[in-house]
Amino acid sequence: MDEVMKENGYEEGVNWITVKDEGAPHSELAWRSRVKIPLEFLLKQ
Q: Are 39 and 32 in contact (CB under 8 A)?
A: no
- The confidence score (pLDDT) of residue 37 equals 92
Q: What is the mean pLDDT of residues 35-44?
A: 92
As a whole number of Å, the end-to-end CA separation of the chain is 21
Phi and psi at residue 36, to the nearest 5°: -65, -30
* Amino acid 45: pLDDT: 59
Answer yes or no: pTM beyond 0.85.
Answer: no
| pLDDT-based confidence at residue 18 (cuts at 50, 70, 90) | very high
Query: What is the pLDDT of the chain when averaged over all its residues?
Result: 92
